Amino acid sequence: MTTAVGIFGGTFSPIHHGHLRLAIELRERLGLDRVHVIPAGEPPHRDRPGVSARRRLQWVQLACAGEPGLVVDDREVRRDGRSYTYDTLASLRAELPDDASLVLLLGDDAANQFHTWHRWQEIPQLAHLVFVERADATAARSPQVDAWWRDKRVTDPKALKSRRAGLLMSAALPPLAISSTRVRGLLKAGRSIRGLVPQAVIDSFTTEDIDFLTHDEDPAKD
Ligand code: ATP
């Protein structure tokens, strides 16, 4: 049987239950063998220090520990320079059997920005895309991306396993209106974030982490 691997990248500053549900539910729904959860590396040109890639990676490891089918993948943290999704997919492809199906999972806000990504038009040579509706996203879908993918759309998840890359699917999940921005806002206001962020991650927070999180800039995601 063909291997099918999901890719779920993000800044994860910090990781929260919205992220975990997306990865867990889509792995089940799409019948993926595993989902690689990939924290973005250090974004260049920051004015103020944000949470380090190393620390965000540790939170992802704590959040995914013992979660079957979620694989924490540190390749973007290890890589120097900008973390381009194109390069991440290419490096994963090089490790997988030739016919393996790769499925890039993107929340709405990331999907709407997709046409600004490095080599976005070549990404379908490497992976399928699944756009996931997000309860708290307000931006409209980019018409450029819509037009470009029109003839690549499928509705049956089985189709994603029939080819190694190049198809687009939309998925709606029961919405969880959680974002890292909201978590950081609550922390800034001195309020509780229990129930939004895995408890193991909350328990690991140091004063320095909270300081960085509450002063975090919005880092680049692609
Ligand atoms: P921020 O608020 O700092 O922008 P975020 O909560 O959007 O952070 P990211 O690390 O930027 O988190 O997101 C990684 C991926 O997870 C993106 O594809 C994003 O759309 C998706 N995502 C984040 N939160 C949710 C959610 N509640 N439901 C569905 N998708 C989500």
The answer on pLDDT for 46 being more than 70 is: no
Mutate to test the pocket of ligand 1, among 7, 12, 22, 70 (most ligand atoms within 8 A of CB): 22
Q: Look-up: residue for tokens 């059997």?
A: 97
Mutate to test the pocket of ligand 1, among 7, 8, 11, 216 (most ligand atoms within 8 A of CB): 11
Tens digits of per-residue pLDDT, 135-148? 665 556 678 777 87
Query: Could you tell me which residues are beta bridge partners of residue 36?
Result: 7, 71
Nearest-CA residue for ligand 1 atom 29 is: 134
Report the range of poorest mean pLDDT among 71-80, 93-102, 108-117.
108-117
Q: In what order do the strands lie in the sheet with 70-72?
A: 70-72, 34-39, 4-10, 101-107, 128-132, 168-171
| Cα–Cα distance, 15 to 11 (Å, whole number) | 8
What does the DSSP assignment read for the chain? ---EEEEEEE--TT--HHHHHHHHHHHHHHT-SEEEEEE----SS-SS----HHHHHHHHHHHHTT-TTEEE--HHHHSSS---HHHHHHHHHTTS-TT-EEEEEEEHHHHHTGGGSTTGGGGGGT-EEEEE--TT--SPPPHHHHHHHGGGB---TTHHHHSSS--EEEE--------HHHHHHHHHTT---BTTB-HHHHHH--HHHHHHHHT-------
Of ligand 1's listed atoms, the one at least distance from the Cα of 181 is 2
The answer on pLDDT for 221 being more than 80 is: no
The answer on pLDDT for 218 being more than 80 is: no
Amino acid 49: pLDDT: 55
For residue 14, say if its preceding peptide bond is cis, omega within 30 degrees of 0.
yes
- Ligand 1 interacting residues, C-beta cut-off 6 A: 10-13, 18-19, 22, 106-107, 109-110, 132, 134, 176, 178-181, 221
Neighbours of 217 (CB within 10 A): 12
Higher pLDDT, 147 or 157: 157
CB 194 within 8 A of CB 203: no
- Residue 98 C-alpha to ligand 1 middle, in angstroms? 30
Mutate to test the pocket of ligand 1, among 15, 56, 109, 222 (most ligand atoms within 8 A of CB): 109
pTM for the predicted model, two decimal places: 0.93
Residues 6+ positions from 204 with CB-CB distance below 8 Å: 58, 59, 62
Of ligand 1's listed atoms, the one at least distance from the Cα of 221 is 11
Retrieve residue 197's tokens. 């962020």
Retrieve residue 53's tokens. 């890639």
Amino acid at 28: E
Of ligand 1's listed atoms, the one at least distance from the Cα of 108 is 20
Tens digits of per-residue pLDDT, 158-214? 999 999 999 999 999 988 889 999 999 999 999 999 999 999 999 999 999 999 999
Tens digits of per-residue pLDDT, 73-92? 999 999 887 779 999 999 99
- pLDDT band for position 60 (cuts 50, 70, 90): very high
